[in-house]
Amino acid sequence: MAEASQLFKEFKIQSVSEFFRRNAAMLGYTGKVRSLTTLVHEAVTNSLDACEEAGIPPYIRVEIEELGREHYKVVVEDNGPGIPEKYITHVFGKMLAGTKAHRNIQSRGQQGIGISGAVMFAQITSGKATRVITSTGDEIIEAWVKIDVDKNEGKIVKKEKHPNPDGWHGTRIELEVKNVKYMRSKQGVYWYLKLTAIANPHAHIELIEPDGKLIVFPRSSEEVPEPPVEMKPHPKGVLTDDVYRMAKKTKRQSVRRFLIGEFSRISDKKVDELIEYVAALRLIKKVGDKKVQEQLYERLMKGEVKAVLRSFRGYTKVVKQVAKMMEKPPEKLTWHEAEEIVEAFKYMKFLAPPTHGLRPIGEENIEKGLKGILKPEFVTAVTRPPKVYSGGIPFQVEVGLAYGGEIPSGFELLRYANRVPLLFDAGSCVTTQAARSIDWKRYKVDDLDRTPLVLMINVVSVHVPYTGTGKQSIASVDEIYNEIRLAIMDAARRLQTYLSGKHRRLYQVKRKKTFEKYVPEIARALSVLTGESEEKIREYFLNFIESHFASKEAVEVSENA
Amino acid sequence: MAEASQLFKEFKIQSVSEFFRRNAAMLGYTGKVRSLTTLVHEAVTNSLDACEEAGIPPYIRVEIEELGREHYKVVVEDNGPGIPEKYITHVFGKMLAGTKAHRNIQSRGQQGIGISGAVMFAQITSGKATRVITSTGDEIIEAWVKIDVDKNEGKIVKKEKHPNPDGWHGTRIELEVKNVKYMRSKQGVYWYLKLTAIANPHAHIELIEPDGKLIVFPRSSEEVPEPPVEMKPHPKGVLTDDVYRMAKKTKRQSVRRFLIGEFSRISDKKVDELIEYVAALRLIKKVGDKKVQEQLYERLMKGEVKAVLRSFRGYTKVVKQVAKMMEKPPEKLTWHEAEEIVEAFKYMKFLAPPTHGLRPIGEENIEKGLKGILKPEFVTAVTRPPKVYSGGIPFQVEVGLAYGGEIPSGFELLRYANRVPLLFDAGSCVTTQAARSIDWKRYKVDDLDRTPLVLMINVVSVHVPYTGTGKQSIASVDEIYNEIRLAIMDAARRLQTYLSGKHRRLYQVKRKKTFEKYVPEIARALSVLTGESEEKIREYFLNFIESHFASKEAVEVSENA
Amino acid sequence: MPKRKVIHREKPKEKFSYDPKKVLSKLEEYGRSVLEAIKSGKNPYFDIPMRGLNNVYFDEKSRLIKMGDKLSRRYFLNVAHARKFMQTLLIMAYVKRLVSEGKHASLREAYYANKHTIPGTRENTFEDQRESDPIIEDLERMLGVLREEMHITADRRGYIYGDIVIRDGEDEFNASKLGSGGWAVPGTVEHIQFPEINVDYALVVETAAMADRLIEEKFPKKENALIIATQGQASRGVRRLIHRLHYEEGLPIIVFTDGDPYGWYIYSTIKQGSINLAYLSDKLATPEARFVGMTMDDIKRYGLENVTEKLKGIPPNKKGGPTGDYKRILEEMEYPWFQNREWQRQLKLALKWGVRIEQQALANKSLEFVAKEYLPEKINSGDLLP
Amino acid sequence: MPKRKVIHREKPKEKFSYDPKKVLSKLEEYGRSVLEAIKSGKNPYFDIPMRGLNNVYFDEKSRLIKMGDKLSRRYFLNVAHARKFMQTLLIMAYVKRLVSEGKHASLREAYYANKHTIPGTRENTFEDQRESDPIIEDLERMLGVLREEMHITADRRGYIYGDIVIRDGEDEFNASKLGSGGWAVPGTVEHIQFPEINVDYALVVETAAMADRLIEEKFPKKENALIIATQGQASRGVRRLIHRLHYEEGLPIIVFTDGDPYGWYIYSTIKQGSINLAYLSDKLATPEARFVGMTMDDIKRYGLENVTEKLKGIPPNKKGGPTGDYKRILEEMEYPWFQNREWQRQLKLALKWGVRIEQQALANKSLEFVAKEYLPEKINSGDLLP
């Protein structure tokens, strides 16, 4: 038998970066084409977010230069606010670092591992540092950044400063990567940028392909979207651990202030209510008879908190205890007390969570994006009002529909989550399922696979429920599924109206002809049956048809008047 | 426009634990039933690994106690070597820490986040610390461990020491969790332990269910498997980054020694060869004519390195330069040189990677496991020889087949990776695909869905290619798929032989009866046709049959003699 | 002289009547009404009794499936109707020509004769026989006449054998003097007359093989019976012949089919008419018909357990059931004319045992058995189902 | 006296011959040989000429599909053969009884008569008619006799009309004096004789509707023809009748079918026999038969473009093709007896145009057209296909 101490000799601590180095696929670095797209995505996302937060209409240029076999240089440059010198290593060199990961905010990326992951991917495939050129308007900083994988730290290998007479601001990064491939496939960079341009009509995006070809997706809207704002957590969406940990960190004076200040939809009055619920729960817990207990829980769920309290002798004492707890300093809140509060939240009613933090593209901008990039004959968009799933997580669905024009035959679905194109795992995505569930024939789209139709779907949320860590597919949550369907159906109805109008004019002419063509046949038969001359019978029938359609047109004209 | 410095005010650094707290699903904590299974899995895996490394036949006891609604206490106790006091916080409190994650070794877990993940899951659902009782044979240590999520550190909240007069060694951990559910489903703890017992016949596993029921999966083999050993990386499987970083850390004196010492299948002679290849590649790179260059690469691929070298004037100089590089201290190896070495590896031939580190269960033990737990009428197992996939990763497939006896009707597939049961995502798993691809009818299994048949498949590898981070499904790699099929077919052939033998004995008796039963019919008809008496005709025929089978038996007896 | 039988010829209830002029005057009347409508600027239409289950009921008194009084109006000036309106007139004109010239045409000929391309279009007057057949059916309902009376003949199937004299046009012959072949029943039997009838009853037999067996065994002569072979479901010609033989000539009708849902359905159609042709029930159906076999009781009574066949389909108590034969039996149990103890018993037994029994299974006893024992015994003892 | 026709009755080539004793002696011979084998301790067997395409060839000289000489040996002591061996003997004994008693049975009756549970087992001698039918076919090949000669009757279908006198047992009648119904051809025609034949030729017609049309138009009388309606694929009885009328009575045979692959196949079967029944070709087939229509040329010649129908299935040049009608036409192009310019032309035209033309499409001209113009013109000018 081996000695325990001996076994533990090899015990070592792994760094995060080391962990991710071994699990690059988790971050989207899987497959040669996809890896390149992921790299570009991380950089472009950073650029778009930065510009939006600073209120600048983005101008983004992506350049892919082929250096050798499966060996490329990727350059992404923006006109954003730039990065202050002291944050450079953090932004590019440290995993899990970022401005959003710890906040309750809608963002394109979500984990703060994006761009540093790109830097690391470049580094482990080419061994090269990433060149960063950035300025906030003052001097221009040029820095070569590497990641110390063992320590999870960025380090600047080389740094230069340059004068900036024109006051340029923005960021340009140059990554050298191997083991990737540029292809114009639907999982490649070109397609990714095209989809990004559609969802971000306020951005001007350019791409220089390895063969030197310049592709421009021009800006079609001048309006820069408001940056998303942080939203306080909703009581229905928190765990005991959240409350406990937030209480430990808050600067508020009392539990009451803490609850009112750091959660949404909690008012002074709500805290009073909360006190009653917590007290009631404490009392119910002590009831011995299981049946009676269940009944009390049920009544509580119905909101009969006061009645429930009154059914206990000396309940006021308990209420007072709880009220006292609300006034103590939050850092003294125990785990058990936090648990009680969260349990009470479950029985209480709250307003739906605020949705002002959600930033949909908007109907007008979707239409602009689709028109500008796809040049269709008809376009429409629907942005649904915000909804909530899982009790407390707000989300919003929007849909755009483009038909005809320069769109080739065949149905195409463009999927987005928070404006970010989803290029993989379409099959398991709720958007695909919802789009497929639509009975397109009802909307005059008889043969979907031969109709020149593009459907875009954007799901907006602080927390998009992805099916996997690849974040390429949205889970089939009922509430989201239903909203997507409603949005598509609304848009499809508009398409139907458009298509109907187009066909209606041809229809009346056809209709009259329908009756006229049968007249000779009818006349011949009726002549056999009655002995009257064919000629005359024809005349009777034609006159009848003529007078009918004349009166009919008159009616339609007056209806439209 | 907002100031950049203002935007970065919110910039904070997330800890690993914080990251995982937000992504518990990545670790298998998703769904109430599955979360509980994951928790038990992490603890049991730790116990099994510990016992094996110490050469102790494992005795593991799992106890699930229901404390309230979706609120449980999970106790896992083993007779392993115990944990030295100073490692307790590391083992249970720090993510990404462990004895295996950084080594090239086959293991049940793989990321060193398992048990600390369990501790964290318990903590964030119940707020409670995890109680650890352990001894390496000296005093008994009782410790309550918590994780400081912000700092990714374990901390011992409370610690007591007890005397250990009997020299007990082992570890017992007690986790208190909420938001989980105990169910006897195929994704629950019971099923997980049953499958674990089958794959680990050397382990005695007990389970006490919440209702107090004790279930014992007894040990059916006394042989403790050898612990897996570390395997040096194979040249065909390494990246530039691996070579570069290993060179920086090694204690060897020269690049040559480093290559020989830390990679498998590299000998002194191989390094000499490597020198030639690196030199040849340097020379080829300088050729201007693309066509000539391509031809040279091709020749190199064919192994004509010496001829290629000789086609350059003054090639010996370059060879000498490269030879010199091999003698310098490894920490001086540049990225570019590492890149050259890895490129040369691609053109060279090496022996297949060593497979001595793989630890299959073994045919005998699989049969013991299946017999002990399932009590079938027939059992067989096939352990295939090790193979390699992706050029350099060794793996091995084994299969067990159990038929009849106490097995209920219907086909059941038990999937394992490195002996760990896979309970989820069966559909996308290569094992399922391979099992489905078999034409079972060819093996006398006519109606698979009504045959009492259990098929177990264990895929053993240092690096099992999972389809997702949930590690519940093995990707469909051609080499693995084919090995699984071969193994199943081999086992199925044995089943076929068994089933045939069972039927053969009944067959001769039946056969004679086949002829006899027609005799009265034939006699009556023949009597009508010929006028001979039925009675007589019957006699003729019966005599003929009798004499035929008598002579036939004689022949068969002599053949067997 | 033959011995007095239980089953014998009765007094006739209908007289031979067939008047082509009635059809012609009805057609002309409809033509004139259309002409008058269009002349006065009104949208011309036809009122056509609706087809389908919704417009069908079982008349307890006459014990016939009859057509209800629901009408569907077919306009000229209606996009959905115009084509059918035109087609209706085309067929009406064609029928007028057929009847006045004394010619007959098959359904297919009627289709081809009226099919042509409408001038100035790529559209045909009829694209398919599936368009012309329903129009002819509509006319039957509109005019209240059989399609045979409009000189449109049905597919022919079936033959008869027995001592009756048939007059067909100028020919007169005895249907028992035609060798073993019998006389093939033509598509239209409206014009046929029966100068002499020397049989006591008509035995309607489902399969040709059984009819041939009875002929070979000289059953018609020995039992004084007319054999009518339907060769499966009875054709319209055969059903009309049965109807006429019963009502115009007073012959009792006894039906002999396989003991299975299909055989019983054949009986049901002969007896009550079918839902498709409900509007013709009083010309095609013979509610007084009775049923001699095969019955479920026959299996036990004659020891035929060995030669039953399993019912097809899934029983009602199994998953996915009832289907096939089982479903059909359950449907037949709901037929109003099977609402009696005897039939319910047979149908329930079939369900219970899950078997069917064919006419020819009687050959298991001996070839003669059916002609010498089974049928004479059952018929002469009046052991018949209603 | 009728004018001299191109088509007229020829000199007979065969004589009426039907001898039940031949069958009986063959059966007894086989029985004795089995008995002798078993007595001497040998495994008894039957040698049965093999069925199927492998044992069939087209005999250029007789221009018939004939059976080859491949045999399959059926042993008693062979697990795979024993049951069939027993079944063969059972049917042989049954046939012996039928023939010696002068009784006839249908295939179905033969099945039921021989079906019973084997004592001491739950196995039946025959589980299904699909077991007894092939045994009867085997016997036809083994004994070289028609099943009708073994007194097992085929399903009957078809009727005839025309001025010939038929003797069937004691009955004698004229097949043009039976009204419009005609005479139904029985399952077995072996015993039938023709005391008087007053027609020049026999016109074999595919559909009953067309045969009825010709009868209504008095075609048989005017053209001195016998109408034989096959009602689809010709039954064995009808084919045997055609054979006998041609060879025993010298009647030329002219076939009139739809202009489609099915119609042409009907013609082919009458003319050459079928692959299934190759062993009976010289009793059932009539290679001298000729074909009057419908042909592809008729479409153009009589302006029937409007009333053609599209061929079913996928053409050979389309993806997934050829299927349906197209496939059948391509197969027919390979038939040895269609290896002549005229037929290849028709078949190629059908492929090219992708259409078919029905007999009844001639009604598009007028009802009389087929009887007054189409047939007389083509037949009297000898415009027939080989």
Q: What is the pLDDT of residues A130-155, one digit of tens each?
A: 999 999 888 999 999 988 766 667 88
**Confidence class for position A288, pLDDT limits 50, 70, 90:** confident
Predicted confidence at residue D2, as pLDDT, reads 44
How confident is the model over B108-140, as pLDDT tens digits?
554 445 788 888 888 888 888 899 999 988 899
In the set D45, D112, D279, D335, the catalytic residue is D112
Q: Of the given ranges (B353-357, D308-312, D371-375), which has the lowest mean pLDDT?
A: B353-357
Task: Say whether D335 is catalytic.
Answer: no
Say if CB D163 and CB D199 are below 8 A apart: yes
What is the tally of helices (H) and strands (E) in chain D? Answer: 14, 17
Whole-number Å distance between alpha carbons of A32 and A188: 10
Can you list the alpha helix ranges (DSSP code H) found in C144-249? 208-216, 219-223, 236-247
Q: Can you say which residues of B are annotated as belonging to the binding site?
A: 46, 78, 99-100, 109-116, 471
Q: Which two tokens stand for residue B410?
A: 């219907």
The backbone torsions φ and ψ at residue C108, rounded to the nearest 5 degrees and listed phi first, read -70, -40
Contact list, A244 vs chain B (CB under 8 Å): 127
How many angstroms away from the CA of B18 is the closest CA of chain A? Answer: 9
Full set of structural domains in chain A with CATH? 16-217 (3.30.565.10), 235-347 (no CATH), 363-561 (3.30.230.10)
Domain ranges (residues) in chain C: 20-153, 159-380
Those chains having 3 or more beta-carbon pairs within 8 angstroms of chain B are A, D
In this prediction, residues B183-202 reach a mean pLDDT of 90
In chain B, whose CA is at the least distance from the CA of D39? B540
Q: What residues 210-269 of chain B have any CB closer than 8 A to a CB of chain A?
A: 239-241, 244-245
Contacts of B26 in chain A (CB under 8 A): 26, 469
Token pair 């817990």 is found at: A285
Contact B26 A469 (CB under 8 A): yes
B2-11, B242-251, D210-219 — most confident range? D210-219
Asked if the ipTM is above 0.90, the reply is no
Interchain pair A530, C119: CB under 8 A: no
Q: Which are the contacts of D385, defined by CB distance < 8 A and separation ≥ 6?
A: D290, D291, D292, D295, D342, D343, D346
Q: Does residue C200 have a known ligand-binding role?
A: no
Report the alpha-carbon distance of residue B193 to residue B62 in Å, rounded: 9
SS3 per residue for B148-186 = ECCCCEEEEEEEEEECCCCCCEEEEEEEEEECCCCCCCC
Query: Lowest-confidence range among A400-414, B17-31, B95-109?
Result: B95-109
Q: Which two tokens stand for residue A455?
A: 């459907």
Q: Is it true that D20-153 and D159-380 share their CATH fold? A: no
Cβ contact B521–D123 (<8 Å): no
Within 10 A of C344 (CB to CB), how many other CB atoms are there?
A: 12
State what percent of residues in chain A have pLDDT above 90.
38
**Contact exists between B and C (3 or more beta carbon pairs < 8 Å):** no
The yes-or-no verdict on residue A90 having pLDDT over 50 is yes
Residues D125-139: tens digit of each pLDDT: 998 888 999 999 899
**Band of the pLDDT at A20, cuts 50, 70, 90?**
low
Q: Answer whether C209's CB lies under 8 Å from C360's CB.
A: yes
Q: Is A110 annotated as a binding residue?
A: yes
CATH architecture of the domain covering C20-153? Orthogonal Bundle (1.10)
A102 and chain B: CB distance < 8 Å anywhere? yes
CA separation for the pair C7, C291 (Å, rounded): 13
What is the rounded end-to-end Cα distance, in angstroms, of chain B?
100
Q: What's the mean pLDDT in B418-438? A: 87
Instruction: Find the distance separating the first CA and the last CA of chain D, reported in whole Å.
Output: 30
CB contact under 8 A, B23 and A90: no
> What pLDDT sits at residue B479?
87
| Residue of D104, D179, D187 lying closest to C166 (CB–CB) | D179
Pure H helices in A302-410: 305-310, 315-327, 335-347, 363-374
Whole-number Å distance between alpha carbons of C368 and C362: 9
Give dist(CA D271, CA D257) in Å, integer.
13
Tell which of C29, C30, C89 to mutate to test the A interface (max A CBs under 10 Å): C89
Fill in the amino acid letter for C204. V
Give the angle subtended at the CA of A253 by the CAs of A100 and A270, to the nearest 5°: 80
Q: Would the CB atoms of B522 and D85 count as touching at under 8 Å? A: yes
Tokens representing C1?
Answer: 């002289």
The pair of structure tokens assigned to A121 is 């991917």
Q: What is the DSSP letter of C274?
A: -
Using alpha carbons, select from B84, B116, B86 the residue that is nearest to residue B101. B116
**b or e along C93-113 (b: 16 or more beta carbons within 10 Å of the residue's beta carbon)?**
bbbbebbeeebbbbbbbbbbb
C-chain residue closest to A534, CA distance: C35
Cα gap B414→D117, rounded to integer Å:
48
Considering chain B, what is the average pLDDT of its residues?
84
For chain D, list residues whose CB is within 8 angstroms of any CB belonging to chain B.
27-28, 30-32, 34-35, 38-39, 41, 43, 76-77, 79, 82-83, 85-86, 89-90, 92-93, 96-97, 118-121, 123, 125
- Nearest CB to A1; choose among B14, B81, B96: B81
Q: How many CA atoms lie within 13 A of B269 on its CB side?
A: 3
- The pLDDT mean for chain A works out to 84
Comparing C-alpha atoms, which of A162, A141, A8, A5 is closest to residue A86? A141
C77 and A522 within 8 Å at the Cβ level: the answer is no
Q: How many CB atoms are closer than 10 A to CB A10?
A: 13
- Strands (E) located in chain D: 45-49, 56-59, 64-67, 71-75, 105-106, 152-153, 159-161, 164-168, 171-174, 183-184, 193-197, 201-205, 225-229, 253-256, 290-293, 309-310, 355-356
Residue in the structure block whose two tokens are 């382990």: B203
Among partner residues A525, A532, A548, which is closest to C77 by beta-carbon distance?
A548
Checking if the pLDDT of A542 tops 80, the result is yes
In CATH, C159-380 is 3.40.1360.10: yes
Nearest chain B Cα distance for residue D31, angstroms? 5
Task: Dihedral sign for Cα D355, D360, D365, D369, please.
Answer: positive
Of A555 and C7, the structure prediction assigns the larger pLDDT to C7
The most confident of the ranges B425-429, D192-196, D226-230, D304-308 is D226-230
Subunit contact A84:B5, Cβ cutoff 8 A: yes
Task: Express each pLDDT in D227-236 by its tens digit.
Answer: 999 988 898 8
In this prediction, residue A100 carries a pLDDT of: 43
Residues of D within 8 A of C178 (CB-CB) are: 168, 171, 173, 178, 183
CA C22 to the chain's CA centroid: 23
Phi/psi of residue B413, nearest 5 degrees:
-110, 125
Q: How far apart are CA B399 and CA B384, in angstroms?
A: 8
CA distance B142 to B172: 9
3-state class (DSSP) for residue A358:
coil
Q: How many helices (H) and strands (E) does chain B have?
A: 17, 16
B105 interface with A at CB cutoff 8 Å: no
- Is the bond into D322 cis (omega within 30 degrees of 0)? yes
Q: What is the pLDDT of residue B54?
A: 86
pLDDT score of D34 more than 70: yes
Q: Searching chain A, which residue's CA lies closest to the CA of residue C85?
A: A522
* Residue A112 predicted with pLDDT over 50: no
d(CA A239, CA B124): 8
Interface of D with C in 163-182 (CB under 8 A): 166-169, 171, 173, 177-182
What's the CA gap between C7 and C200, in Å, rounded? 7
CB contact under 8 A, B525 and D125: no
C72: phi > 0 → left, psi -120 to 50 → alpha, else beta; which? beta
Peptide bond before D294: cis, by omega within 30 degrees of 0?
Answer: yes
- In the DSSP assignment, the letter for residue A133 is E
Higher-confidence residue of D142 and A356: namely D142
- Which of these ranges, B107-116, B294-303, B380-389, D282-291, has the smallest mean pLDDT? B107-116
Q: Spell B513-551 as b/e; 16+ CB within 10 A means b.
A: ebbbbbbbbbbbbbbbbbebeeeebbebbeebbeeebee
> What residue in D sits closest to B518 (Cα-Cα)?
D86
User: Is A46 annotated to bind ligand?
Assistant: yes
Q: With 90 as the cut, is the pLDDT of residue B104 above it?
A: no
Is the per-residue pLDDT at B235 higher than 90? no
* B286: its two tokens: 């300088």
Spatial neighbors of A557 by CB under 8 A, at least 6 apart, are none
Strands C164-168 and C253-256: unpaired
Residues of C designated catalytic: 112
The pLDDT-based confidence of A1 (bands split at 50, 70, 90) is very low
The reported pLDDT for the residue numbered D65 is: 75
Q: Do A521 and C93 touch (CB under 8 A)?
A: no
Q: Name the residue type at position A407.
A: I
Tokens of C316: 């009602």
Structure tokens at B532: 């001979």
